[in-house]
Structure 1
Amino acid sequence: MSEIRPFRVEISDAVIDDLRERLARTRWPETEPVDDWSMGMPLAYVQELAGYWAESYDMQRVAGLLNRYEQFTTTIDGVDIHFLRVRSPVEGAMPCIMTHGWPGSVMEFVKVIDPLVDPVSHGGQASDAVELVIPSLPGHGWSGKPTVTGWTVEKIAQAWIELMDRLGYERWAAQGGDWGALVSSAIGRLADPAKLIGIHLNWALADPAELMKLGSPTEEEQRHLASLEHSSQAEGGYAIEQGTKPQTLGYGLTDSPAGQLAWIVEKFKTWSDCGDDLESSFTKDELLDNVMVYWTCAAAASSARLYWHSLASSVGSFDEVPAPSAYSRFPADNVALSERWARTRYTDLRYYGTPKRGGHFAAYEAPAAFVEEVRAGLRALVSAPAPEAPVYPPFS
């Protein structure tokens, strides 16, 4: 079961024909009685995107973009795990496992892979080079769909540790945002410190109660708390539904491409640094590339189940992470931690970055800033820790 098998993305004509037929037969609701996104994704824009998808979008784009890279599958705990493995031309490049979240996919990273693995060709130093392993979360993309319960964040973290062992890496780092940040944080708690260099996150959670113990929140922290409260009250309905009844939700989204499109793209608008113009951050093609992964893999229900498996036990858990850590706080993300707040959970925080632009899907929306933040964060992981911190041997 430890066999590593080559893989290529294939999208059949039958899948494409079915998709176009379903888009043509969409039964639309009436127009919303507001002139903004406050009720959800506006009808006119869903119709515009769906029309572009059916008539102008290159249905083989996703396959073309991903098949430029080596891809594999391997079976871990009964689930096939799909992953990209992108080697660096730089000898001794740092291995790093990079994990997406929901409603993202491995497509989030297509703009940053080449600069990270080959920095010399993209304005960086050879010492910044990484070798990337980019898996699809269980139930997402081309990874298998777990048929048993228990696939929590912690179980995925253990699977990623096993994957890196299988690939023969003796020392490696982890990076992630959204669920990928939670998986990477769990890796920071569970992995052997002799093997884990550390973690870099572009999204993080920490206990608000711990912030209050530090004294009065600063103005910045008050804004972060208000944003967190707004996100929970006004934007958290998707998580409640996916965390409680993902199967029910899955029937509609798996049957309707327009429904799947709207469910995903609304989050790209809400969580990105785009103001009122979503396409100032993502092209139609880029939005549809990510939706296409969910549609062709029929992953609406299986991806939503990660919330059911993990919402209560993982998102609500703020266990300390002792591994060397780096955190980049992108300004338009739906959750933001001040540096001292982050340190209440990430006890060996060696880098705190504040890029000027970008949101929740940072690698996709602001790839240049994301690359610089990952480079800076990974550099900090191998620097000398503070005197009171545990000493981790440098990567060589």
Structure 2
Amino acid sequence: MSGTAGLASGSTGDARPFTFMASEDRLADLRARIEATRWPDPETVADASQGAQQATVRKLAQHWVTAYDWRKAEARINAVPNFVMRLDGIDFHFIHVRSKHPDALPLLVAHGWPASIIERMKIIGLLTDPTTHGGSAADAFHLVIPSMPGYGFSAKPTSPGWNPPRIAGAYNELMRRLGYMKWGASGGDWGAIIVEQMALGKPPGLIGIHTNMPGVVPPEIDAAVSRGDPLPADLTDEERQACEELAFAYRHIGYAQMLGDRPQTLTGLVDSPVGLAAFMLDNVPRLYELFARSIDGAPEGITLDDILDNITLFWLTDTAISAARLYWENRTPYFSVKGVELAVAVSVFPEELYQAPRSWTEKAYPNLVHYNRLPRGGHFPAWEQPALYSQEVRAGFSTLR
């Protein structure tokens, strides 16, 4: 991956270099636990309507224990500059890759759940070294990719309060302490909610945000969809389709309800690696279907090893429960309008939880600088379609540099 290490010129940040290496004992214990899995009875249907199908999870487990090599993922992580910085009482881990192009725009890239920095690593070279990937020096970014508190290599909060607004404040402070006077932010899933909160904080250096899961649903429509109430009669076809997609998502987010109400009860996620894998595979049906196709040998951007890189990171860092608590902490609506006035770029991927209509997007973001509907890609486009995602980030910030 291209790029250079180090902090921004003139930085006074107290970032400390970081590397990770799992012990052989830890990896051996992982393999032993996979082999000792106590499997449930198979589902009683021929589809995934009861959840992650046993045959799919068994294929993943077999590959995990016989062919998967965590050391390859570990080497990719350690090949880029990793740091830790203490922010608001928590040690935040982050990747910081500076472009060779001196006029590159600093960009914080925020991940979500059940993802991690793994989800974002495919875009590092594309964004920091655009001249090698079909772009120009004017497209270059300096990248900062933090791990959320309780995720991966960041510290686990030991007291409540780490919600999206607080994380957003820490991210803005991270960019300032790295010495950046001007920066952008891009995010999906929780990252989309957090970059909106970064914008609501209006720090002097933040010039705009990019999101692939925008908060543009009118609150009264969001409430009606979530309750199953009748919708307004004057919706356009595009708006009605978005409502149908949202209703489908709300019917299939039992995992979020559990994490938001009783995360500590999910002890099995830190005791059984296969239990963790099944839970992380089965978020919303369209995403599960993408994962299942990859496990069955027909990857569409995300490979079986990609999936296992992410799950193994959670296992080796014991962060399944600490990451889940973000749902318990959250009081911010997922999809409805939040009053962002800063410049916003929106990329609409067809397999996202919902496809944001232009009409809602223009009303929600009075300073909308980019809106585009893409031909393919879903909830984790930086992971699934890194080239398309990188093109969108370039286009979104092209007028803000």
TM-score, normalising length: structure 2: 0.90
Match of 1:370 in 2: 389
Once the 2 structures are TM-superposed, how far is the Cα of residue 4 of structure 1 from its aligned partner?
A: 1.1
CA distance in 1, matches of 2:382, 2:181: 26
1:43-88 per-residue CA deviation (whole Å, 9 max, x = no partner) reads 0110110111011001212211111100000111211100000110
CA distance in 2, matches of 1:200, 1:34: 41
CA distance in 1, matches of 2:378, 2:293: 14
Whether 1:139 and 2:150 are equivalent positions in the alignment is yes
Whether 1:300 and 2:320 are equivalent positions in the alignment is yes
Change beyond 3 A, Cα 1:86–1:136? same
Match of 2:57 in 1: 46
Change beyond 3 A, Cα 1:189–1:43? same
Whether 1:246 and 2:256 are equivalent positions in the alignment is no
Unaligned runs of 5+ in 2: 1-11, 223-230
CA distance in 2, matches of 1:276, 1:182: 27
Secondary structure of 1:81's counterpart equals: strand
CA distance in 1, matches of 2:328, 2:72: 32
Write the mapping of 1:122-137 to structure 2, written as runs, cut at 5 A: 122-137=133-148
CA distance in 1, matches of 2:336, 2:238: 24
Secondary structure of 1:295's counterpart equals: helix
Match of 2:352 in 1: 333
CA distance in 2, matches of 1:248, 1:273: 27
Match of 1:352 in 2: 371
CA distance in 1, matches of 2:346, 2:332: 23
Whether 1:227 and 2:245 are equivalent positions in the alignment is yes
Once the 2 structures are TM-superposed, how far is the Cα of residue 112 of structure 1 from its aligned partner?
A: 1.0
Whether 1:256 and 2:266 are equivalent positions in the alignment is no
Deviating more after overlay: 4-13 vs 208-217: 208-217
CA distance in 1, matches of 2:350, 2:72: 30
> What residue identity is the alignment partner of 2:249?
S
Write the mapping of 1:97-246 to structure 2, written as runs, cut at 5 A: 97-192=108-203, 194-209=204-219, 216-233=234-251, 235-246=252-263
Match of 2:282 in 1: 266
Change beyond 3 A, Cα 1:166–1:24? same
CA distance in 1, matches of 2:133, 2:393: 14
Secondary structure of 2:122's counterpart equals: coil
> What residue identity is the alignment partner of 2:236?
T
Does structure 2 conserve the Cα–Cα contact (< 8 Å) formed by 1:4 and 1:73? yes
CA distance in 2, matches of 1:158, 1:351: 25
1:128-168 per-residue CA deviation (whole Å, 9 max, x = no partner) reads 00000000011101001111111110000000011011100
CA distance in 2, matches of 1:313, 1:104: 19
Once the 2 structures are TM-superposed, how far is the Cα of residue 340 of structure 1 from its aligned partner?
A: 1.6
Structure 1 runs (4+) greater than 6 angstroms displaced = 210-215
Report the number of matched residues.
Answer: 378
Whether 1:76 and 2:82 are equivalent positions in the alignment is no
CA distance in 1, matches of 2:131, 2:327: 39
Match of 2:307 in 1: 287
CA RMSD across the alignment: 2.0
> What residue identity is the alignment partner of 2:239?
E
> What residue identity is the alignment partner of 1:27?
R
Change beyond 3 A, Cα 1:117–1:268? farther
> What residue identity is the alignment partner of 1:315?
Y
Once the 2 structures are TM-superposed, how far is the Cα of residue 236 of structure 1 from its aligned partner?
A: 1.1
Change beyond 3 A, Cα 1:288–1:203? same
Secondary structure of 1:112's counterpart equals: helix
CA distance in 2, matches of 1:62, 1:113: 15
Secondary structure of 1:34's counterpart equals: coil
TM-score, normalising length: structure 1: 0.91
Once the 2 structures are TM-superposed, how far is the Cα of residue 201 of structure 1 from its aligned partner?
A: 0.5
